[in-house]
Structure 1
Amino acid sequence: MTEGADEPRIGVVTEPFASRPLTDVMEWLLRAAPSVTDLEVGAGGYAPTTHCETPLLLRDASAREAWAAEIASRGLRVAALNVWGNPLHPDKSIARKHDADLRDAIRLAALLGVDRVVALAGCPPGARGDRTPHFAGGGWLPYLESIHELQWDEWVEPYWSDVAEFAMREHPQLLV
């Protein structure tokens, strides 16, 4: 265990500051909240990506190194990449984009040495052919009894099993 590993760390989600450059956000944090040590940075899905240009950082090692150095030079670290989205959305274009964003965030986390990616489980349709997501929050009403099982068996378990295998190949220490 490293020295200080048991020390609590305070993090800030940068998403509410998406309209400001990351350097401005970090400078403000250093002045207004000097106890902050960690950042959770939006990297795709529904999260704004103004502070983390994932495609650029994946393909350009020097851009990635410069981005990480900007953060580290202020005594901060990226604690997590946030890629909340709905990779189980019944609209396949949304699902494909959010799945690609999640996988790219996993790849980027591996390259950066970040051990956490924030994601949502996703919300699939309530039945095959539905065009909108359906949150099966309870099955106490007779017409809702089988929705949760269908969602789990058809969409949730197969998708997340595949993502888990992908994450293990790309970044074995990653927490999603």
Structure 2
Amino acid sequence: MDKKDAQLLSLLQEDASMGLNDLAKAVSLSPTPCWRRIQKLRAEGVIRQQVVLCDPAKLNLGLTAFVSIRVNQHNDVWTERFVQGIRDIREIVEIYRMAGDVDYLLKVVVPDVAAYDQVYKRLIKVAELFDVSAGFAMEVVKYTTALPLDYVGDL
């Protein structure tokens, strides 16, 4: 990956709907080499997918909860059951297995506390959990899906 690839990624992370001609012009390439670079980035898995980012508030999802889970089982059978069960809860939009005091961290988006309570009730039925604790976001201070490109090797 070189600087042109990084420039393309930076532009696409900000607006994946940007047209090929505009992308090519922005990175000083003609459209065909630009298209080839993008296709190569896709083939290599650098570009995983293109999506539309929706405004949660406009979809009646005004409450974001960060749920910390501690467990007392760490075997394969329990883990598989837990992971499959929480993946099926649509309101859980991010799942992280953590190091430290918390075993899993979940990001949950719902309309309100009552809806969170419904998610919580489904969550605790998935598998035996030692502790479930939630914090509710009061304000989004920073939100981005764009990854920093400063750490790419050849740049």
| Greater fraction helix | 1
- Structure with the greater alpha carbon radius of gyration: 2
> Given the two structures, how large is their TM-score scaled by the length of structure 1?
0.25
Point out which structure has higher relative CO (alpha carbons under 8 A, 6+ apart). Answer: 2
